[in-house]
Structure 1
Amino acid sequence: MNYLKNLGCALAVAVVSVVTGALPASAQSALDRILSAGKIVIGVQNDVPPYSQIGADNEVEGMDIEIARAIARDLEVDLELVIITGANRIPTLVSNMADMVIATVGITPQRASAVALSDPYTAFSMVLVGPSDVEMSSYDDTAGKVIGLTRGTMQDDIVSRNAPDADIRRYDDDATVVQALATRQIDATAFGNTVVASLMQKFPNLELERKFDAYSTFAAIAVRQSDADLLQWVNTWIFFNRHNGYLASLHKKWLGIDLPPLD
């Protein structure tokens, strides 16, 4: 009887060993990895004022930058900023070059199929902007006009679809689009309302004016789809800072507006 009992125990141990050995070791979650490393890598732009821009000290600053620093502070980890362009925001994430991207990433179904998007932390109208001598008050007026857009952005998608008869010229980053506008290589471009206000102030000689609202969008913080725990933490951070007034204070400081409705 003891022999049979011992044999049964040995077989049980062998079965457990085989089963557990066949299972992959549980991968470390994104949040655990960041906390263990003591550092988070966040992709940001430096050419979308006042969300991101180069300041007087030649360092990047803006609302998105301040949010990145606050997230690192609240996680109690060091922050490494990776400067990216509008076109490579999603590739930066899927190629594991950053843990998250904070760069006014507009919420769309197409982007949600590639990365995980947080609850919105801001919202804005996208505006067609151009010199005052360019007649353009609706999409109907874009036929034959030269419109410069940043490749791979939401405005590239939406404006291109709604202005099929325009001459669409695509550039690799926002700074190049602005340069094309400043040198009159294009008739108009599309940026967020607060960015347009900054451009009008920066280039008074161009006599820029808002032509019409292209569309409205909500912006999210983006993480990899597999990083569900990090997404949950980010959503909690946004909820907490929406209701304690911190996000509202950032909108006042950087954009000069009240926090828009995000529901």
Structure 2
Amino acid sequence: MKNMMKHPSITLMLVLMLSLVLSGCNSTGTNTPSASGGGDAEAQGTVERIKERGKLIAGVKYDTKLFGLKDPASGDVEGFDIDIAKALAKQILGDETKVELKEVTSKTRIPMLQNGDIDIIIATMTITDERKEQVDFSDVYFEAGQSLLVKNDSAIAGLESLDGVKVLAVKGSTSAQNIREKAPKADVLEFDNYQDAFTALKAGKGEALTTDNIILIGMQQTDNNYKLVGGNFTSEPYGMAIRKGDTAFVEEVNKMLKALKDSGEYDTLHEKWLGSKPE
């Protein structure tokens, strides 16, 4: 000790080294959750945030008749997905009106969820293995299948008729991927949303439009000059998407969905928007 006192620089160095060691220990203890999946831990708590905020923020489509369509005159957004969002708000907050709807597209919905702009995606979103790497999904709440929409006088009868044909699709959708796989000789032209794609079809920029059958039926209802052809050539199970790792919110959403089905309200909503009760 006497020798150390004669050399204060040595004493100072030892003190600094001890401080660094202690700091490192504390830092390791603090950061352990992140090292073992802190992102998942941070994702937890959506239900609590919704309750604190006093409203659910749902990402929905504004351009998809039957599921989520905005009325330009009134500004109201209506559809099957919208009523599902209201049911979730009612379960969490006791009031179906305590929901804020934010427009998403197939391209923007996952980034908006990951950025925290929305609590949940309820927007005709197909559950896929690729998407499961980015988000968690609820149980399936609707079963769709992809098809083709063409003019009534079109000679196109199905996938076999698409060689050299311009087929319209939406960016970020499974339909854009599937049509390239199932009709590799088709010329696929992608748009930002369904409204733009349907407008392009009507303007003659393509000869067919592909997406989920129920979305195409919604388009057909607005213009009876078009028909669906080719049957369903894929299976498209819709799920509600939640931030990765938020298992508590997934459970809450599945609880709501089960309650809707057990009470018969799901059948009522299905018939209201899609014309029949589920099979």
**If the length of structure 1 is used for normalisation, what is the TM-score?**
0.85
Alignment partners' CA distance in 2, 1:258 and 1:106: 21
Q: Max radius of gyration: which structure?
A: 2
The Cα of 1:21 is off from its aligned counterpart by 10
The worse-fitting range, judged by mean Cα deviation, of 72-81 and 242-251 is: 72-81
The Cα of 1:66 is off from its aligned counterpart by 1.1
Partner of 1:39: 55
The Cα of 1:201 is off from its aligned counterpart by 2.7
Q: What is the letter of the counterpart of residue 226 of structure 1?
A: G
Q: Deviations over 1:195-236 (max 9, x none)?
A: 3233223223xx312111231211000001121110111111
The Cα of 1:19 is off from its aligned counterpart by 7.5
Unaligned runs of 5+ in 2: 1-24, 34-40
Out of 38, 41, 65, the residue aligned to residue 49 of structure 1 is: 65
Distance 1:111 1:258, change over 3 A: same
Please tell me whether the aligned partners of residues 128 and 214 of structure 1 are also in contact (alpha carbons under 8 angstroms). no
**If the length of structure 2 is used for normalisation, what is the TM-score?**
0.80
Please tell me whether the aligned partners of residues 212 and 236 of structure 2 are also in contact (alpha carbons under 8 angstroms). no
Partner of 1:13: none
Please tell me whether the aligned partners of residues 87 and 256 of structure 2 are also in contact (alpha carbons under 8 angstroms). no
Higher strand share: 1
Alignment partners' CA distance in 1, 2:172 and 2:219: 21
Out of 168, 188, 211, the residue aligned to residue 229 of structure 2 is: 211
Partner of 1:241: 260
Unaligned runs of 5+ in 1: 1-17
Q: How many residues are matched?
A: 242
The answer to whether residue 112 in structure 2 is matched with residue 92 in structure 1 is yes
Q: Deviations over 1:108-139 (max 9, x none)?
A: 11111110011011112221111133222232
Q: What is the letter of the counterpart of residue 58 of structure 2?
A: I
Distance 1:20 1:187, change over 3 A: closer
Alignment partners' CA distance in 1, 2:157 and 2:175: 17
Alignment partners' CA distance in 2, 1:20 and 1:70: 44
Alignment partners' CA distance in 2, 1:201 and 1:44: 20
- The 5 A counterparts of 1:1-263 are 22-23=29-30, 29-55=45-71, 57-76=74-93, 78-204=98-224, 207-212=225-230, 213-260=232-279
Alignment partners' CA distance in 2, 1:100 and 1:19: 36
Q: Deviations over 1:52-87 (max 9, x none)?
A: 112362311111111111211221163211111122
Q: What is the letter of the counterpart of residue 62 of structure 1?
A: G
Please tell me whether the aligned partners of residues 86 and 174 of structure 1 are also in contact (alpha carbons under 8 angstroms). no
Alignment partners' CA distance in 2, 1:137 and 1:75: 47
Please tell me whether the aligned partners of residues 105 and 221 of structure 1 are also in contact (alpha carbons under 8 angstroms). yes
Partner of 1:103: helix, strand, or coil? Answer: coil
Partner of 1:111: helix, strand, or coil? Answer: helix
Q: Identity of counterpart residues, as a percentage?
A: 26
Alignment partners' CA distance in 2, 1:162 and 1:21: 51
Please tell me whether the aligned partners of residues 175 and 212 of structure 2 are also in contact (alpha carbons under 8 angstroms). no
